[in-house]
Amino acid sequence: MKVLVGLSGGVDSAIAAYLLKKQGYEVSGGFMRNWDALANNDYLGNPTIGNSQCPQEVDYYDAVEVAKKLDIPLLRADFVKEYWDNVFSFFLSEYEKGRTPNPDVFCNKYIKFDSFYEFALSQGFTKIAMGHYAKLGKDQWGNPRLFKAADRNKDQTYFLCQISDKQVASCFFPLGDIDKPEVRRLAHELNLNSVMDKKDSTGVCFIGERHFKQFLQNYMPAKPGKVVLLPKNKEIGTHSGVYFYTIGQHKGLGIGGVKGEEEGGYFVVKKDVKNNILYVCQLKDRYLLSSTSCDISHLNLQGPVEGNDIEVSVKFRYRQADQPAILHMEEGGNAKLEYSFHPVEAVTPGQIAAIYQGDMLLGGGIIEATYRDGGRTDI
């Protein structure tokens, strides 16, 4: 079987390719170029804009070295337009609405498991493979499903909750049963010098680390406005642009004009984009951040489920502990999640709810609204 591995120039994908080759597959690497800083006006907040070589090209040449060491062919594909159209435009539109999107989730859905897979098929490959920490298995009906990886600290199923059942079946996940230290050990054993001690990629998917407020100002203007303290509903200062804050944010708020008893300990509670107001609370009023249920849209299920009211666990953020909940299925790809035992803090519209039964990933959706005591908390 011919398999095209998404070879990113990092250690995880390198070892994924090695393991598949060791298992007897006919393996090639595929490097994706998805971001062009100059063409995409990525200047403000970009710490690498003055470098002689852009980070994507550094990653490409690291992937070239890996392919040489593993003795596999390396193909290169350009999805800059697809990334802008299907991932980044949505990312910006969500921020303009005052929401907080997760581009990594939609990069998986539209680029790695769609554009890249179609490219692989066009080149004669049967399947693709990725260096994600996720385990491929089957449910009780024999359908291919994703399960949490053996390395729970690195498990990335959260970011895979929007891919379809067909996309799940199209891919191998060779790192599902090993942990990160073993990946590093194998890379050293194979003398993969370009990646064996390379730091994991961080920041926005395929874009990288950015000074985020400045980065967003490349695409949306900074407009200062009022900061209002809840529950007193008292104006206490000014913000630098309501788009640039995240629900639950505590550090780096940069609130100006704060004096006296109101100093310190602020948390972002909600954002009023229309009136350009940022609402915050103090530590003693953090209950304002909590909700007991939420609506989700774009519900993606990766296989069949039994019933309309299902006991599940949910992650509202990557690395968050699983939260027990009841999934109430609704019409048109919508659902409600009712948290089972206690309120949950900083459930944020625009972000992703990844839904599990035990270790099995059921799928996920986009958080639309949050509720507490029968009333909405996000407006």
C-beta of residue 346 within 8 angstroms of C-beta of residue 248: yes
Q: What is the dihedral of CA 355, 360, 362, 366, to 10 degrees?
A: 30
Q: Are residues 48 and 57 in contact, defined by beta-carbon separation less than 8 angstroms?
A: no
Amino acid in position 12: D
Cα radius of gyration rounded to whole Å, the chain: 22
CB atoms within 10 A of CB 123: 13
Edge-to-edge strands of the sheet including 266-272?
234-239, 225-229, 277-282, 266-272
The residues annotated as belonging to the active site are: 107, 205
What the block records as the tokens of 273 is 């984009």
Cα separation values, 99 from 57, 276, 312, 334, 378, Å: 32, 13, 25, 18, 10
Report which of 370, 23, 67, 43 is spatially closest to residue 214, judged by C-alpha positions. 43
